[in-house]
């Protein structure tokens, strides 16, 4: 199996969002505002919201979402153990397709966790 470089994939996705913003400025501005509002600390802390987004990304399945939300969950203070439990819950809810995408989430966690070559705040 060829393990993706999640730090590089995150960089590619962010560059892609910037390219989209050049051709669809109103759309991407709205999406960015929605994203900031949706994950902002509130009754649920940002870390929990990022874990929820990760679970949905696994169930959908969306490997890019997994890369982005594993990174952002760790950056928001989620522990690797919390990411593990989120992956388990997503497999429960999403079945076989989610189990396949859960592998991607585990790889991203290993790469973004403290001590890995790509730190969570990269």
Note the pLDDT tens digit of each residue in 32-82: 999 999 999 999 999 999 999 999 999 999 999 999 999 999 999 999 999
H helices within 1-122, ranges in order?
6-23, 25-39, 46-59, 63-75, 80-112
Query: How much is the pTM?
Result: 0.90
**Does residue 116 register a pLDDT over 80?**
no
Query: Which residues have CB under 8 Å from 14's CB, separation 6+?
Result: none
Q: Which two tokens stand for residue 122?
A: 């990269």
Determine the pLDDT at residue 79.
Answer: 97
């Amino acid at each position: 199996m060829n393990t993706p470089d999640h730090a590089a994939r995150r960089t590619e996705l962010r560059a892609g969002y910037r390219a989209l913003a050049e051709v669809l400025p109103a759309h991407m501005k709205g999406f960015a505002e929605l994203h900031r509002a949706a994950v902002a600390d509130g009754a649920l802390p940002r870390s929990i919201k990022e874990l929820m987004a990760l679970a949905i990304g696994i169930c959908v399945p969306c490997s890019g979402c997994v890369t982005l939300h594993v990174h952002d969950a760790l950056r928001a203070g989620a522990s690797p153990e919390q990411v593990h439990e989120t992956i388990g819950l997503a497999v429960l809810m999403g079945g076989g397709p989610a189990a396949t995408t859960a592998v991607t989430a585990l790889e991203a966690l290993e790469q973004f966790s403290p001590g890995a070559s790509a730190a969570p705040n990269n």
